[in-house]
Amino acid sequence: MAMCRSKFICSASSASIAFVALLLLLSSTLPVLAAPVISNVTTTNLRDVSFTVSWITDVASTGSVNYGTSAALGTTANDDRGAAVSSTTHHVTISGLSPNTLYYFDVISGSTTDNNGGSHYAVTTGPTLALPGSDTVYGQVYKSDGTTPATGAIVYINLADNDGSGSPGLSATMSALVDASGYWYYNLGNARVADASAYFAYLAEGGDNLRLIVSGGADGNASLATVDTMNDKPVPNIYLVAQQPTSTPTPTATNTPAFTPTPTNTPTATNTPTPTATNTPTFTPTPTNTPTATNTPTPTATNTPTATNTPTLTATNTLTPTATNTPTLTATNTLTPTATNTPTPTATNTLTPTATNTPTPTATNTPTATPERTNGDAQSTLPSAHQSRWRGGAIV
């Protein structure tokens, strides 16, 4: 590593490096200002040797006009309030011109230049006329709070014929800036017809109308439809209406609640149990439940059960007696599983002989028995007409 030849050189080098690093840090942290957007470019106060250009911007910025008698332009005029004034309203008066002359101009705010799409704006000055009369109108403009002067707002003025005498239609548009006290002034004696070729004739004592529109830039806008020329000293107070935001809000996740279906709306596989082989148990009564030869009387013709003694098979349990006189539940009919898929056989599946030695089946789960004599034992066989089978998911 090279060594510094002197403490002075080392200190100077360190300071330079620190200064450059500071500049880089500041340039990376300073916000990048958006270029102003220019709108509502308007030409007013057109006379023989002057005219005014006004416009608004979406952010506060300086304003100026570059103008000339050719597309090369070449001359600059600043805002009437000064070159350093930054505002969302801009009002530039260009004077010292020649009568009846075509002028081109561009408007400039901050880093934005509006050249009318490359064609430049254009206006032709009027002829020189006799000295105008004097008829100064005035009024006050306030912001939307009703008390704060709307300093810097632009008042646009037109005279309108209302009595059928004098100049017809509307005059050329005039304009005035609102001062720090909220007042504006204008001499209507300078009003000209639309092409600036002559003064606009009207009755100052009343009968014609004054139309006013106010542009306050970021502070809002306002208008008075008509004011009779008899009541324009002063005109009624004007109050700006604040502009409403025009941006479209971006929905966030919290603004769009998610919908989740509940489990009850979507049947699952557990809601439709499938019977398995373990769902059809075979019940075999214990030997103590099997009637012996001594307990089973020999049936006589009078002991044959009638049709009224035929029990009704249930849909879930069908007993089929075996050849050994021991009634056995078979699995010929599939039990309908419950929610736990484990049916529990009840104790009603046991035949109980009555005191008259005639077996009386219970009202449920007891097959139809027709006694037959075989070697002195009572054998029960389930008639085929009463055997139940599954068909199409139901017992038939």
Largest Cα–Cα distance in the chain? 152
Which CATH architecture fits 134-243? Sandwich (2.60)
Cα pseudo-dihedral 387, 391, 395, 396, rounded to 10: -60
Which among 77, 104, 101, 102 is positioned nearest to 91, based on CA atoms? 77
Domains 35-128 and 134-243 in one fold: yes
Spell out the per-residue pLDDT of the chain, length 396, in tens. Answer: 455 555 545 555 666 676 666 666 665 555 556 899 999 999 999 999 999 999 999 999 999 999 999 999 999 999 999 999 999 999 999 999 999 999 999 999 999 999 999 999 999 999 999 999 999 999 999 999 999 999 999 999 999 999 999 999 999 999 999 999 999 999 999 999 999 999 999 999 999 999 999 999 999 999 887 899 999 999 999 999 997 765 544 444 444 444 444 444 444 444 444 444 444 444 444 444 444 434 444 444 444 343 344 344 343 443 344 344 444 434 444 434 444 444 444 444 443 444 444 444 444 444 444 444 434 443 433 444 444 443 444 444
3-state DSSP: the chain helix, strand, coil percent, rounded to 5?
15, 30, 55
Token pair 């019940």 in the structure block, residue: 283
**DSSP E strand stretches across 11-96:** 38-44, 51-61, 64-68, 75-78, 87-94
Q: Report how far residue 368's alpha carbon sits from residue 363's, in angstroms, rounded to the nearest whole number.
A: 11
Domain ranges of the chain: 35-128, 134-243, 275-330+362-382
- pTM flag (> 0.75): no
H or E stretch covering 18:
helix 7-29
Look at the domain 35-128 and name its fold: Immunoglobulin-like (2.60.40)
Q: Report how far residue 296's alpha carbon sits from residue 282's, in angstroms, rounded to the nearest whole number.
A: 25
Q: What does DSSP assign to residue 134? A: -
Which among 342, 359, 290, 345 is positioned nearest to 317, based on CA atoms? 345
Q: Report how far residue 276's alpha carbon sits from residue 278's, in angstroms, rounded to the nearest whole number.
A: 5
Q: What does DSSP assign to residue 10? A: H
H or E stretch covering 379:
strand 377-379
